[in-house]
Structure 1
């Protein structure tokens, strides 16, 4: 761990409370990381009763990542699943899932409003604008609200430097990927600014029909009104377009025939987020801030996951969809932090208001399916072709106004020197006023719930500490699920459309113990967590034989596991060994899916959840030779264990182990670097899934062959 001083200097947006702690801890000799995310204010590790990890600017800079998953997967207990072209899903105390059980923050503010979760939200992030990343594992709903269940990821952006700084870089690989990136900033008098931009382009890759381009620009301006008052403006603009190649069948995967079945599917995103924050120090023990923000997001798709094809009904025909999901947000969040001498008490309290109008529509595509040779009923598709666009046949068509309001408070006390007790509560209310054009209905859906947490930290000596906590999680169903027509209804079926108005919010109770240990004068650092989380009414996506999806929010689940991580510096700090991983099991406890005796799937009691490896881990050895200054090299191991492909536990995917190599040398501000991803050219898939029938065929999200990335970066600074 690094000294507190350095951790503070690297924080993306420092609140008043952070400034006070910095003053106190600069004088300290403790080797301790400081976290913002866990308690919404700068907090020492030994005061934080949760499993939390920080990815430092050093790690981010050395990774030279193409996509965020390369960085985030270095966190113990986290598996960010690459779906290609920076698209992704997540696994933190949950199976690999696209469900709304993760909260993605940008400098502490959610990237999406509650109710409009998107598992691909991190593709909008500018990797060249990251200062550090904080990951909270387990529920944090009592502070951050619904969707903060499996984990919370806070991406902290770069802030203006005191002295002029500038960096420019290019990188490319042998599969047609290239990126240009530039950033710079300084402080002049009372005003500081920082600007960062990237432009990425992928053409003619290893997988057919897999091009994409992404442009991002971030700008931040800090105005120090006085020594006690600051005004901070932060704006992000992003534009993204990607082909959607989708998965490949089993034969194509093992033959490395990386051919997409479509040449028309796509995903595109236009995003704008801007915020203005006023911070004020009332005195050394009190601080406040208020943030007003605006979001404007447009997401359009012709998705591969929307293609429905049955090998047994009409195998030469299929259907798809074009959809558009657009929203704006107008909101504000305010927070006050107060400290008292009595028992070293600290109180954090705040409130949020968010108004987000949203529109969503989807219409039908009729398709022809050209088949590969095979056994009837077990055939696969070689190519889909659109035969007719049917904007007259709406599959989904609604508008909604979402009103989110919340209030939260957290208190920590220090009754004895080694013991810190923390308790927190939050109340959330999400009201949805909707107009569903398909069934001509209007109405209001309200989801509200108080959530609580309580924890203790015990630090008997300076080099070790333990904690225990209980935390609740809460996640209402995303409105995109509520207004989808149920399979077999609507469209051209001749049956009136039926919807998921009765989906219930998912609730969670998490019980956890953990701790940290620092030995050999901070050269060896370890942390661990043991958790048990029970869920009720989790959203279950039942994949049907034609690739359509039916949704349920019933039953109970259990999630239990052990997470561990460590870092060891040896040979005069020239060699750094980082290791981490998780052993976990995710199970359906009481999950009745259907009362219909003719349905193939009745219940999932006792089954393991699919796409839920019991083991995953990431470790790395880095070498910084004293005899060759400013040179570094590292070898990374990413490991994912086996898991069931389907919900009825009939077929497993074996998982994978891959190795990545990175090296860099810097001379007079010029850095040249190279990454080799998948050194051994391992054949593996990021994700494998199939429907719950014996005739269903698996879909493989194929991973890239061995990839060579090279880059050049110029770093200029007048820092003294």
Structure 2
């Protein structure tokens, strides 16, 4: 993927040369319309038959984000919810979910191997090392493989600067979050380097027992062997250590009694990712690259979401777990791009091999549930206490060797002027050799799929384009789901453990059309997409009465919506208005929830999927006054509509509207900035869920009250 960076630079320089007599804003606009994710090569928007958005370095820098969702939520059609301490869930053409339907890339390479999805993967990212963020909405499995279903997020890191550059800074807020950050790089002769690091500490925050630390370091070295050959090394290392506060009940949520009911819960992770890429330009029409990589991840936790408590069975007793999930990956990916004069044809082809040994264990923790004294119904817990750790009672215990192999190809042609046709295919094979110590079984699970995509772009005039596409998606079940004992079995239940060996891969068919327009010499940009996606065998988590999770494969689902986004610069470019959002509906078409005659609701055909906001959007108005250069100020609106909390569609959450304010000023190399998050001090939850039983209680993931952040940064450059 490193070839992408040089290609992007070359195209940007060409655009600059061709338009040197135009206004600077027009040149910037040209560059912003180049993407590297949609077709795995640097591609203009008008050649891309998908819904794709890009967040530029300017947008990322001005956001001064504490957590990644503050950046990602600026993409139309994307809702990344904060689950506290940089944990998160995602919604892109899917409900808010932790399912493996989103692919997270770092410079085009998946952060995790297929089958080892983690919905919190983006908490490992160094926000101070981002050049841009590109998001493809809808299936991209034909290029990037399984899990690229709802959306693909590619985090593109900073590359070495030509001239020496250095920046460092500090930011802090009134909720106990402090971060030190530094980055710098240069090019000396044939060698360029860039290093970026952050160190985050949160203490005594708005929720009791919610402290955490995060340290990340990124390093990149580019060696220009010749004018046509480059060797690039990129390494990421990070440690994350956090208390993990859980959800709160309805009374505590609305009274802002933000106590942590699980003060013992924690998450500790270490991550190392390193890669070496060799790029070569054969000529002006052909180039290749080969990347070899290593991933090494360790994750241990006592999760609050693992607590099982039933108010009707034994209200003073509960159970939890301590678990450890570890993997390494050794892999290689190679790609060749070839252009032909005939019909302006471009062919991209590549192959991947990934070997990832995985281990996972979990054991029982016994707890005392201390009920709220003011709750006569004994339906809520004031706090939990650990009474005994039981390493002798295993809940999960397996090892597996995952072998992922894939081959892909995509071709684009221009049969007539202004019309571009694109088609692609990919074959993926995931082979899992496992040993399950819980039932002493060994075996092999194989998941494979050939996925296709096809699309057209029609650009009738220079500043307008439309597209249509059909794309397939494919997502095998995560192996943590396969080897998790079913509720009511294993552990200390006295019932032999039963597992999810028969879970099927989920498949999707996506039909989409959209377009874009640029008016007023690029000052007004607008894009839209209309999609319908049908899913089969979607893996869903069914929350039962004691907070246990049962996995079910849904027969069929439908996902449909409209995504809108745009940008308008006015009053001599002093004001910039960015707007975006999505209206969507996610529905069960064929879902047999229960086979028990005693259950009041057994079939959910036609029901809405829970955690599916009918509307979500993010818009922002920024002011750059001419009378005070290098000053900026903005107001941002984040809006989330109502949705059902449960699968049986009985309780709704009203959603929320919050406002964020940002301002910053640069004087010479010194920048001072401040953010006010949740300006109106809104009481809101990023995630509200409820089991399907009549006496279930809603669980609220409370978000911070009004937060004031201030930062100081020094930027040093020897640019001539």
Query: Which TM-score band applies after superposition, normalised by the shorter structure?
Result: over 0.9
1:644 & 1:237 partners in 2: Cα distance? 39
Residue in structure 2 matched with residue 122 of structure 1 by the alignment: 122
Residues 165-201 of structure 1 deviation map (CA, whole Å, 9 limit, x = unaligned): 0000100001111000000000000000000000000
Residues 534-561 of structure 1 deviation map (CA, whole Å, 9 limit, x = unaligned): 0000011000000000001131000000
Residues 329-387 of structure 1 deviation map (CA, whole Å, 9 limit, x = unaligned): 00000000000000000000000000000000000000000001366665100010001
Residue in structure 2 matched with residue 290 of structure 1 by the alignment: 290
Residue in structure 1 matched with residue 301 of structure 2 by the alignment: 301
1:37 & 1:26 partners in 2: Cα distance? 22
1:611 & 1:13 partners in 2: Cα distance? 39
Residue in structure 1 matched with residue 427 of structure 2 by the alignment: 427
Equivalent residue runs for 1:64-463 within 5 Å: 64-373=64-373, 379-463=379-463
Task: Give the drift of 1:60.
Answer: 0.4
2:691 & 2:374 partners in 1: Cα distance? 19
Deviation beyond 3 Å, 4+ runs, structure 1:
11-32, 373-378
Contact 1:659/1:678 (<8 A) preserved:
yes
- Residues 1:551 and 2:551 aligned together: yes
Task: Give the drift of 1:21.
Answer: 4.1
Task: Give the drift of 1:600.
Answer: 4.6
2:169 & 2:439 partners in 1: Cα distance? 53
Contact 1:16/1:281 (<8 A) preserved:
no
- Residues 1:38 and 2:38 aligned together: yes
1:519 & 1:608 partners in 2: Cα distance? 38
1:340 & 1:595 partners in 2: Cα distance? 58
Check 1:662–1:102 CA distance in 2 against 1; reply closer, same or farther (3 A cut). Answer: same
Instruction: Determine helix, strand or coil for the equivalent of 1:537.
Output: strand
2:373 & 2:506 partners in 1: Cα distance? 44
1:22 & 1:69 partners in 2: Cα distance? 29
Residues 400-422 of structure 1 deviation map (CA, whole Å, 9 limit, x = unaligned): 00000000000000111100000
Residue in structure 2 matched with residue 590 of structure 1 by the alignment: 590
1:163 & 1:93 partners in 2: Cα distance? 42
1:361 & 1:437 partners in 2: Cα distance? 10
Contact 1:580/1:618 (<8 A) preserved:
yes
Instruction: Determine helix, strand or coil for the equivalent of 2:481.
Output: helix
2:359 & 2:595 partners in 1: Cα distance? 34
- Residues 1:14 and 2:22 aligned together: no
Contact 1:13/1:157 (<8 A) preserved:
no
Task: Give the TM-score of the pair, scaled to structure 1.
Answer: 0.97
Check 1:377–1:492 CA distance in 2 against 1; reply closer, same or farther (3 A cut). Answer: farther
Contact 2:562/2:584 (<8 A) preserved:
yes
Contact 1:534/1:557 (<8 A) preserved:
yes
Residue in structure 2 matched with residue 631 of structure 1 by the alignment: 631
2:405 & 2:379 partners in 1: Cα distance? 51
Residue in structure 2 matched with residue 7 of structure 1 by the alignment: none
Check 1:179–1:19 CA distance in 2 against 1; reply closer, same or farther (3 A cut). Answer: closer
Task: Give the drift of 1:397.
Answer: 0.0
1:325 & 1:600 partners in 2: Cα distance? 37
Instruction: Determine helix, strand or coil for the equivalent of 1:538.
Output: strand
Contact 1:322/1:365 (<8 A) preserved:
yes
Instruction: Determine helix, strand or coil for the equivalent of 1:159.
Output: coil
Task: Give the drift of 1:694.
Answer: 1.3
Task: Give the drift of 1:598.
Answer: 2.5
Check 1:47–1:226 CA distance in 2 against 1; reply closer, same or farther (3 A cut). Answer: same
Residues 684-706 of structure 1 deviation map (CA, whole Å, 9 limit, x = unaligned): 11111110011100010001000
Residue in structure 2 matched with residue 490 of structure 1 by the alignment: 490
Instruction: Determine helix, strand or coil for the equivalent of 1:14.
Output: helix
Residue in structure 1 matched with residue 539 of structure 2 by the alignment: 539
Residues 557-595 of structure 1 deviation map (CA, whole Å, 9 limit, x = unaligned): 000000000100001101000000000000001111222
Residue in structure 1 matched with residue 681 of structure 2 by the alignment: 681
Check 1:372–1:13 CA distance in 2 against 1; reply closer, same or farther (3 A cut). Answer: farther
Task: Give the drift of 1:15.
Answer: 4.9
1:179 & 1:569 partners in 2: Cα distance? 33
Instruction: Determine helix, strand or coil for the equivalent of 2:557.
Output: strand
Contact 1:377/1:695 (<8 A) preserved:
no
Task: Give the TM-score of the pair, scaled to structure 2.
Answer: 0.97
Contact 2:8/2:34 (<8 A) preserved:
no
Contact 1:116/1:479 (<8 A) preserved:
yes
- Structure 1 unaligned segments of length 5 or more: list them: 1-10
Contact 1:12/1:157 (<8 A) preserved:
no
- Structure 2 unaligned segments of length 5 or more: list them: 20-25
Contact 1:308/1:547 (<8 A) preserved:
yes
Instruction: Determine helix, strand or coil for the equivalent of 1:711.
Output: strand
1:466 & 1:12 partners in 2: Cα distance? 30
Task: Give the drift of 1:309.
Answer: 0.1
Equivalent residue runs for 1:608-623 within 5 Å: 608-623=608-623
Contact 2:2/2:277 (<8 A) preserved:
no
Contact 2:326/2:359 (<8 A) preserved:
yes
- Residues 1:570 and 2:570 aligned together: yes
1:369 & 1:14 partners in 2: Cα distance? 54
1:249 & 1:142 partners in 2: Cα distance? 43
Cα RMSD over matched residues?
Answer: 1.2
Residues 588-645 of structure 1 deviation map (CA, whole Å, 9 limit, x = unaligned): 0111122221235412111111110000000000000010011000000000000001
Task: Give the drift of 1:19.
Answer: 5.8
Instruction: Determine helix, strand or coil for the equivalent of 1:555.
Output: strand
Residues 94-132 of structure 1 deviation map (CA, whole Å, 9 limit, x = unaligned): 000000000000000000000000000000000000000
Check 1:649–1:378 CA distance in 2 against 1; reply closer, same or farther (3 A cut). Answer: farther
1:263 & 1:530 partners in 2: Cα distance? 45
Greater mean deviation of Cα atoms: 556-565 or 596-605: 596-605
Task: Give the drift of 1:668.
Answer: 1.1
1:356 & 1:377 partners in 2: Cα distance? 49
Instruction: Determine helix, strand or coil for the equivalent of 1:216.
Output: strand
- Residues 1:647 and 2:647 aligned together: yes
Residue in structure 1 matched with residue 517 of structure 2 by the alignment: 517
1:174 & 1:481 partners in 2: Cα distance? 39
1:439 & 1:519 partners in 2: Cα distance? 64
1:299 & 1:37 partners in 2: Cα distance? 29
Residues 430-479 of structure 1 deviation map (CA, whole Å, 9 limit, x = unaligned): 00000000000000000000000000000000010000000000000000
Residues 208-265 of structure 1 deviation map (CA, whole Å, 9 limit, x = unaligned): 1100000000000000001000000000000001101111100001111000111100
